[in-house]
Structure 1
Amino acid sequence: MENHRENLPTDPVAALARARSPESPGPDTPAGTAVRHWPGPPRPIPEAGPADLDLRTLLRLSLAASDASGRLRPTPSAGALHPVDTELVVGTGCSLPPGRYGYDPLRHRVHHLGPPVEGTPPGVTAALSVTVRRTVSHYGHRAWPLLLLDTGHAAAALLLAARVLGVEGCDVRMDGRSENPLAVVRIPPPDGQGPKRLADPEDRPTPADLLTRRSTPPPLRGSPPGEALQAILATAERAGDGRLLRWCAAVGPPRPGLMELAPEGATLRPYAFGEARPTLAAWAAGQAWLADAGAVLLAHGCPADADAAHIRRAHLRAGFAVHLAHVTALRHGLAARPVGSWQQADLGAALGAAPGRDWVVHALALGTRNADEENPT
């Protein structure tokens, strides 16, 4: 079986420091198979009964590919390489019999791996790990933080799919203590009384919201309305751990600078003054189009002396929160694209604070129009 943990860094602190450096990756190497090799024959996911958790729909809305190449999945991934692998531990109350299964997102099938572990709770528990080779094949030494961000995106995709099904009480665990799995998402079955109403209807997306979410190709121009930017920042702050990350958005003229939510969350306020987008473009692996983006949502924190668990937590949480913010942006009619690769992006030092304390971890570029609208055929 393919070793999906191959090349995980033995020293995550050193690996992140190198990924943040200006060193360029080497030439591309083979990415290997697009899906982890699960043993045994593939099995279709049965239709759900009226009291079952619908795993077929849950996975179709979160992780399933829409074409044979595997690139078109509803979960963003650096380079569309999709390194995240999903093992399902199924308890009672699901459309699959209890047991352990490996999920194949290309065929939308599962492979039976064995019986459930003792004490498996009702519903499904998705354990997310990574095949490192896929991302390393293109990004080389820059892959480590990208693998964590991709895993956070996948965890958020599962949570959103559960919300479409009306399921509350999901448990997302991304404590950074484990490399295998990196994240665990537990989704309970229906309670037999029908879907619960979420407290905030805005938190419940539609199937179309999830199936049509894509990373918009650049350029992304046009300043988002203040109301939309405020909603995106609020989503990110709710989903991001405030002990790990802070959030702001770089905006352009007429008043260029960094904006953040005021403490009560009802308004935006300046965080720093001055045009930041060209600097962000240079930090983001030289992606020049960011200098003209309508706005750039930034997750920042994770100091240089953070330990391995802190690094994993911060990046997993950043991917998770940016994914939810991405869907909020799309629901406001905006173009959006996650940006995960950052070099020398010491935001704190750039703003005059002590160096090495406040780094850009992840971002979401925003605009009111995309490349297709800029260049209609």
Structure 2
Amino acid sequence: MEDLREDPTTGLAAALARARSPERPGPDTPAGTAVRPWPGPPRPISEAGPADLDLGALLRLSLAASDASGRLRPAPSAGALHPVDTELTVGAGCSLPPGRYGYDPLRHRVHQVGPPVDGTPPGVTAELSVTAQRTASHYGHRAWPLLLLDTGHAAAALFLAARALAAGEPDVRLDGRTENPLAVVRIPPPDGRSPRCPAETGVPPAPGELLARRSTPPPLPGLPPHGALRAVLATAERAGDGGLLRWCAAVGPPRPGLVRLAPDGTTLRRYAAGEARPTLAAWAAGQAWLADAGAVLLAHGCPTDAGAAHIRRSHLRAGFAVHLAHVTALRHGLAARPVGSWQQADLGAALGAAPGRDWVVHALALGTRHADEENST
């Protein structure tokens, strides 16, 4: 098994360059345990009091497995390998006593790994890290971008769960400055006020909406309506950390090309003509079905010379934004599926710009008809 630990200087940049290359992964290797071996006995998450943050509900709506295999969870993951590990620092106002806990998403239990921490604010702070072996077992040297994207999706799932439970204002840290943890999400207890409707999500999601969301199996045919595609692009741009990433969508007939959100935020404008979806299918590890997807939302940026912090931040933010865009797509009745593995996907160079400056980082395939509907016709 190859060593996927980051080097503090050049390791992550070299890993990303190799992941973007046409080199194919070798045979599968053992994935190891599906859950980090937390010390101590497991314990259930207590029922929440009327003014407490319900940690059991929060984790069920965001990270918990809903089937015996552990594959089905509210947050998507490349290959359903779920490498993200979650450690909770719990303060006052929660359904667990203050302390540090490791979360087991397969059994929906916690393990106490440390005593209360002085100065811990009320609520819970979730630190997200990864066990790289799980993803590398199938994707080999292509694992690091996927690990970062998966972490961004997990952070977004916690963010949305907090919104659904009308918790206090979540604080999401995806700055890319540290390798461990990769992301931090702090959620205060409910403050008794009506939940805000931030631009990233609009109306807070209902718990059932979060539990029901899944990645649609391909194919995903059917061009999304203009309004739905505009809403998906707007959600991604607002959640994507300003100018760090750029966003567009590849669409097919009757006017194939690339579209992006106009500066007014209310319309779409074309900025490249021509059919891009077959090229995207080749770049996306040869996933041929993408050539017939109704549209493909693209996050692009992260130049070749980006440092480790920039790489982490770009990919974490892309995962976070695509997750929120996925929820917006489902609200508009679309079929949707995240696509995370990209090789030789230099979008800027393909459009005539300088090479190495504008790579595809993440994507969301969109359609109007689900696979089961398509197969029945």
TM-score tier after normalising by the smaller chain length: over 0.9
Are the aligned partners of 2:222 and 2:368 in contact in 1 as well (CA < 8 Å)? yes
1:375, CA displacement in angstroms?
1.6
Q: Give the length in aligned residue pairs.
A: 372
1:198, CA displacement in angstroms?
3.0
Are the aligned partners of 1:296 and 1:364 in contact in 2 as well (CA < 8 Å)? yes
Instruction: Give 3-state SS (helix, strand or coil) of 2:167's partner.
Output: coil
Deviation string 1:119-166 (CA, Å, 9 cap, x unpaired) is 111100000000000000000000000000000000000000000011
The answer to whether structure 1 residue 13 and structure 2 residue 13 are counterparts is yes
1:227, CA displacement in angstroms?
0.4
Q: Which residue of 2 aligns with 1:56?
A: 56
Are the aligned partners of 2:94 and 2:123 in contact in 1 as well (CA < 8 Å)? yes
Q: Which amino acid aligns with 2:103?
A: Y
TM-score by length of 2: 0.96
Could you tell me how far apart the structure 2 residues matched to 1:287 and 1:164 are?
A: 34
Deviation string 1:268-325 (CA, Å, 9 cap, x unpaired) is 0012111100000000000000000000000000000000000000000000000000
Could you tell me how far apart the structure 2 residues matched to 1:231 and 1:375 are?
A: 28
Could you tell me how far apart the structure 2 residues matched to 1:199 and 1:32 are?
A: 39
Are the aligned partners of 1:168 and 1:198 in contact in 2 as well (CA < 8 Å)? no
Could you tell me how far apart the structure 1 residues matched to 2:48 and 2:78 are?
A: 33
Q: Which residue of 1 aligns with 2:78?
A: 78
Unaligned runs of 5+ residues in structure 2 are none
Are the aligned partners of 1:336 and 1:364 in contact in 2 as well (CA < 8 Å)? yes
Instruction: Give 3-state SS (helix, strand or coil) of 2:300's partner.
Output: strand
Q: Which amino acid aligns with 2:69?
A: S
The answer to whether structure 1 residue 142 and structure 2 residue 142 are counterparts is yes
The answer to whether structure 1 residue 164 and structure 2 residue 164 are counterparts is yes
Instruction: Give 3-state SS (helix, strand or coil) of 1:125's partner.
Output: strand
Are the aligned partners of 1:165 and 1:195 in contact in 2 as well (CA < 8 Å)? no
Q: Which residue of 2 aligns with 1:374?
A: 374
Are the aligned partners of 1:167 and 1:195 in contact in 2 as well (CA < 8 Å)? no
TM-score by length of 1: 0.96
Instruction: Give 3-state SS (helix, strand or coil) of 1:336's partner.
Output: strand
Unaligned runs of 5+ residues in structure 1 are 1-5
Could you tell me how far apart the structure 1 residues matched to 2:310 and 2:196 are?
A: 34
Could you tell me how far apart the structure 2 residues matched to 1:280 and 1:31 are?
A: 29
Q: Which residue of 2 aligns with 1:93?
A: 93
Q: Which residue of 1 aligns with 2:43?
A: 43
Q: Which amino acid aligns with 2:314?
A: A
Could you tell me how far apart the structure 2 residues matched to 1:64 and 1:338 are?
A: 19
Q: Which residue of 1 aligns with 2:328?
A: 328
Q: Percent identity?
A: 82
Q: Which residue of 2 aligns with 1:301?
A: 301
Q: Which residue of 2 aligns with 1:123?
A: 123
The answer to whether structure 1 residue 154 and structure 2 residue 166 are counterparts is no
Could you tell me how far apart the structure 2 residues matched to 1:75 and 1:46 are?
A: 23
Instruction: Give 3-state SS (helix, strand or coil) of 1:269's partner.
Output: strand
Q: Which amino acid aligns with 2:6?
A: P
Q: Which amino acid aligns with 1:196?
A: P
